[in-house]
Chain A
Amino acid sequence: MELHEIVSDLIIDTKGLAGGLLGAPTNTSSIALFLPELVVCATILLMLLVRLFRWGRTFHSFYVAVLGCALALAVTQPQQLLAEGGVPRIEIFTGMLVFDGFTVFLRTILLAFTVLFLILTKISGIPDREDGGDIYTLVLGAVLGMCLMASSNHLLMVFMSIEMASVPSYALAGLLKGRRLGSEAALKYSVYGAGAAGVMLYGISLLAGLVNTVHLPTMGVELAQRLPTMAPPEYMVLALAGMMVMVGLAFKLSAVPFHFWCPDVFEGAPAEVGAFLSVASKAAALALLVRVAIGLSAIVPPGLPAGQPIDQAAQTAARDLPGLFAVADEKPADNSAIGADPRAALQPMRSLLGKLIAVLAIITCTFGNLAAYGQTNIKRLLAYSTIAHAGYMMMAVPALIALAGQHPQQAQNAVSGLGIYIALYLFMNLGAFAIVAFFRNAFRSEEIADYAGLIRRCPGMVICFAAILFSLVGLPPLSGFIGKFAVFAALMDGFRLTGETYLLIVLLAGGINTAISLFYYLRVVKVMTMEPESPTRVPFALPMLSAAGMFTIAITLPTLLLILWWNWINESALGAARHLLT
């Protein structure tokens, strides 16, 4: 291939054949599909620029940030998830990133969460006008990294996006500058993150050496080719490498035993940051886990090259399979060489990965729930609850991996189950942390014992909090039930169709854990409602007809009412999972 051909293909990939970047739905160039991220970038720049001028400092950076995020959310066009035929799968930026329904879904969740989160910080007043610019720059930078995590298609992008999301988070953990606890948490977080990143990078280089590529779809094809004839030492290295990559992901997921940072950071950082780390960071990490798991254990449908109209692109894709710019030096051998069924060849990898994630999920979930028992600080309790929920959400992944072999349709259903969980979890956890923040503002305490008798002081808040906590348990009329149901149904499907016993074990562990978790959530409700109010508490008012109250209600209502209208979530999640597998 001539150099000028490559250059012209690069240009087409980036800018597209057709002119006009914005607003053209048929435009499949990388830049057009990357527009939401670009808007976030522009917002960050704008925020920094504006503060150079004196008039720019007269208003809160919040407005810039929230408008930028809302614009990014609008250009994400979530409605395309519900479109007939779903979102096409297009590899953008020469296969480094991928644009598909899952990307759109995760972008929507992350950006919508960011908008809500920004509003929360404005209401609770955690960054003042001085700090606002810095904090929001960090937040948006992290969100940018998370969006990249959700669309990574390449192990280098995986690493880079994780770092992009993590480094601002370290700084956010130390947001309360004067507090020793916060600084300590930030330091621990960054040290731990550095360690995890190192391990992960090592794993990536091992994998690259083994399979000659780090482009995830190509890796699946390569693995399918090599696995049947792989020597045991090589297999061991493969297992080690896979595991080391998992360490990086497990760190972001705060999966046990890589969770140690989580309670310390949540306790040290303000509750708002806790909300950010527990929802956005988790969602992105789970998306990345899905991407990596699918890439390593299944054959992904060929992505269309970017920059060409879709019908043309399909022809191009049919001509040369793994995309023009797959990082592999040589094109992989013809698919027929892999054997009759490349999916069957990946079975050992699926078993390895599936069991690994299953074990991690069970340990994480169980440990999180058990450790939450003894907590006296509400933020630590929510930290362990977050860990446990990461475990529940991870449970969908083994089902996905097991089903990916023979039942791609059901495997996609597993992904959609995870998507539903993430979407509902957003409201629950953001609500919980928001209420904790409002309580902190009202009476300066985050100890559970100080919540005694709150029902008499601010009944509306307590009722909302109780609804959210019950929803976190997963009790039926509340939205948490839908998410748990979707994930557990995926596990049951996986067991039924593949006969893998470990899925059943995961399902049982999930069920038992749900029962266990009831107690510590309920304990908080009990303290708030049944115990007598402490006579020494400073009187305070937290009416529902305030910004804080309205925000709480707005966040709680979906938790209460989504059970009535949940089919559209289901359908968008199904749309998100479409075209992930063949």
Chain B
Amino acid sequence: MDDPIRLLLILIPALPLAAAVLIGLLGPRVLRQQSHWLAIAAVLASFLCSLLLMRELSFLQRAAGAGGEVALGIGYEEVRRLWTWTDVADAYQQPRTPPGESRESLVGGGSRDFRIDIVLRADSLTCMMLVMVTLIATLVAIYSAGYMHGDPGYWRFFAYFGLFVFSMTMLVSVSNFVLLYVFWEAVGLCSYLLIGFWYQKPAAAAAGKKAFLVNRVGDFGFALGVFLIWTTYGTLNFHDSLRGGELEPARIQQAVAAERAGEVVPAEQEPVAGVFGPLRLADNELRPAGQPRTSAMISLAICLLLLLGACGKSAQFPLHVWLPDAMEGPTPVSALIHAATMVTAGIYMIARCTPLFLVSPDAQLVVSVVGGFTALLAALIALTQYDLKRVLAYSTVSQLGYMFLALGVGSLAGVTAGMFHLFTHAFFKALLFLGAGSVMHAMGNVIDMRRFGGLRRVMPVTYITFAVGCLALAGVFPLAGFWSKDAVLGAVHDKVHELEPHDSDSHGPAPHGPAPHGPAPHDSSPHGSAEGGGTQAVERPESSADDDVTPVFGLSNLLRGQIFHWLYLLGLMTSFLTAFYTFRAFYLTFHGPELIPPEAGRHAHESPASMTVPLGILAVCSALVGLLLDRSYLDGTNSFANWLLWTPSLGFPAAMRTTLPGEFHLSVAGWSTLMALGGIGLSSYLYLGSRHEIHGIRQFFDLAWVSGWSDVESFARMRQWRVARWVRECSAAVGLEWLLRLVVGALLLVVLVLSAPLLLLYYVSPYKLSYHRFYLDELYELVLVRPLRGLARLCYGIDRWLIDGTVNFVGRVPRQIGDVMRSLQMGLVPFYALAMVLGLLILLAVQLLG
């Protein structure tokens, strides 16, 4: 092949798919316990192809841009069409925008073909995801060869595994919303299959079902979002093309020039501006047509629907409940799918759709709030869990929340920080999960941290690598997590500054409380959107993308700034909690007195090399990846962000051209380090050495003192007190026993009434809330599952009696007709002739009469 990009783009997903098919076919008979070789070879080849693709792309990028500089506003993509899946001509009539507007030729006007090509793309974002996915997949595949050894479903595991890597690489390299959706579902399917891998276990089967169903909620939103994109933009492609399917940029430019010049071009030569194509992005034309308010509503709706989809896949509140249950699957799966790759699909999607979010600041705010809130919520839950894998699962949810928080900032710094965190997180979270798997492997599948402990001498390699992972997750300098978490917090911090009222702000200093602000004006003047925004726009013309947009929520910049400020504090708080729960799990597992459960038998030992080698590689990556890629502390260059800037979605939008990727904030770094060290210190104090304080603290947060107060028996014991006896004797002597009883009764009543709320409080004590995951599962059970189950039962009844009855009736009728006919005509040729004539006559009669 003379087109290396095309070849690589095809090979990267095709190799794992081929491995999956081969293993599926040959596994049960031929390969059996050797199935892993195929999978490892395919995924490794896929990884090498990804690296090659990255190299090719960087050459091309350097050739396209002014070499070496920060590639703002350039963007580079390579799109390859494999074949056309469907092409329905004139499927949709785009409402024409009023003449005179520049967008006439590109966005509005005329009919659109519903054309779905199988297209793959290579750009920076895709390349980065491909490299990350295939690298982690390779390591996990090697690890699984050891971990899954001897499992009866060995070949099945690697078949699913290959299928997943295929789906995931396709997910990040397709260039069309329909295909994105297809592979979005495909990774969901693989996740379902792998969570329920041990389908004999009821818990695993249930967890798979739960993940599948919860994801359906999000996917429903995603599907609606895709529909809305189609009706709004008239195309589902990310890239620009001609109507006939031509993808060559030069040809497209030619066609655009011809159309701008007013020439009549044949239908196949008409340019179709893709949703994130340079044609649309360069002119910042993502605002849907129509009145500003309608347009803002549409943008907001698209973004929120996409966000719902992302929340499902990336386990954000309120759809996060499936991820912890997904830990029922084999641990390598948890590491690969439910920590490093698949759950980041939502982040990838939002990052890809950044231009859509740019025109809707309200949606960005929602993304950030969802992310920040989820980060805190999950961190709080993780504090009290005893299941090692679940702690890590909640930690994943929490870190994904961080990524959303960064993406919602919407600036270049924010998006690159979010993706950077995604990248580093993949390494250290995979490392932690694989470490947990190693522990689990040695402990005979026991994962409850109360049942083992002090393993640092039994499993030294796991211990050291796990420690590296913990430090990285906690964000300790200079490990990977530190740099990306700092970038996230720095981006939020910048956003706060950007939104802060300036001296000339007409509202004056009003740091507390929202500024008085009416609903968004309905006039179409772009600069009359909000007083604050208006003045700002005059002062800082570079934020022109913001004031173009009519906010739907009608929040002032001041209020949004405050929200982001709170989110910043929330992020710092979360980083403290993260450090605490991470090291709590670490100390519980590896420190303290040595405790090995009986399930482990006598052979609790370090895992085989096939498991420890990937751990080591991941540990090195977790330690160094941040230091190598982010050098903003030195010279302000962040290689990762600069690479990512070449993505058209990020490099092209006008709003993005104004800001630079995040600078290094010493103050933010200092605060976050302080928080991390504080968390580590606190957990070291509590969990190293004797652990008696922790009991008291748990009692305190469990509001045990409340229960002590409201304990009726303690009142009974008070009767035995000397003072009480003395008072009773005195009153008996005076003959005022009845008064005493009255007073005591009244007192008891008062105490009871007063303590009732406290008693209630006891049942929702902070500890219990955290331990029971804020009762969200129970809430869903009560509000959603039970009613739906009732509805299902009703439907079943209707189906059983009404539909089945009808069907059975319908089924019986033709049989009876058949019986009648059989008795009439079986074998009688004259009847056939008669029937023919009769049929003809009847048809004729119908024709002539009717």
Contact = CB atoms under 8 A, between A and B. Distances in A.
Q: Is the pairing of A and B real?
A: yes
Interface of A: 184, 187-188, 191-192, 195-196, 199, 236, 239-240, 243-244, 247, 256-258, 260-261, 352, 355-356, 359-360, 367, 370-374, 516, 519, 564-567, 570
B814 A373 contact: yes
B846 A359 contact: yes
B290 interface: no
A239 B844 contact: yes
B836 A258 contact: yes
26 contacts: A184-B827, A191-B832, A192-B829, A192-B836, A195-B833, A236-B848, A243-B840, A243-B843, A244-B840, A258-B839, A260-B835, A260-B836, A355-B847, A356-B843, A360-B843, A370-B810, A370-B814, A371-B814, A371-B818, A372-B814, A373-B814, A516-B810, A519-B807, A564-B85, A567-B87, A570-B86
A240 B843 CA distance: 10
A25 B417 CA distance: 63
Contacts of A240: 844
A359 B849 CA distance: 14
Given A371-B817, A373-B818, 5 more contacts: A184-B827, A257-B836, A359-B846, A360-B843, A567-B85
A359 B86 CA distance: 32
Interface residues of B, number: 32
A359 B843 contact: yes
B818 A243 contact: no
B84 interface: yes
B832 A188 contact: yes
Interface in B800-850: 807, 810-811, 813-815, 817-819, 825, 827, 829, 832-833, 835-836, 838-840, 842-844, 846-848, 850
A565 B839 CA distance: 42
Top 4 closest pairs, chain A to chain B, by CB? A370-B814, A257-B839, A374-B815, A567-B84
Nearest to A409: B89
Contacts of A236: 848
Contact of B838 (A257, A355, A356): A257
Given A184-B827, A260-B835, A519 B848 contact: no
A566 B848 contact: no
B738 interface: no
A370 B816 CA distance: 10
A566 B88 CA distance: 12
Contacts of A570: 86-87
Given A240-B844, A373-B815, A195 B836 contact: yes
A261 B832 contact: yes
A351 to B, nearest CB: 10
Interface string B67-90: 000000000000000011111000
Interface of B: 83-87, 118, 807, 810-811, 813-815, 817-819, 825, 827, 829, 832-833, 835-836, 838-840, 842-844, 846-848, 850
Given A261-B832, A355-B847, A370 B839 contact: no
A352 B847 CA distance: 7
Contacts of A516: 810
B685 to A, nearest CB: 58
Contacts of A258: 836, 839
Contact of A374 (B814, B835, B843, B846): B814
Contacts of B85: 564-567
A293 to B, nearest CB: 15
Contact of B825 (A243, A260, A356, A564): A260
A374 B118 CA distance: 44
A22 B817 CA distance: 56
Contacts of A360: 843
Nearest to B117: A567
A524 B176 CA distance: 39
A421 B628 CA distance: 59
A196 B836 CA distance: 8
A359 B815 CA distance: 22
A188 B829 contact: yes
A196 B840 CA distance: 11
A254 B817 CA distance: 18
Nearest to B87: A567
Contact of B811 (A187, A359, A367, A519): A519
B811 to A, nearest CB: 5
A99 B819 CA distance: 47
B844 A243 contact: yes
B84 to A, nearest CB: 4
A278 B848 CA distance: 32
A567 B85 CA distance: 5
A385 B814 CA distance: 14
Given A240-B844, A356-B843, A371-B817, A192 B832 contact: yes
Contacts of A564: 85, 118
Contact of A239 (B813, B818, B838, B847): B847
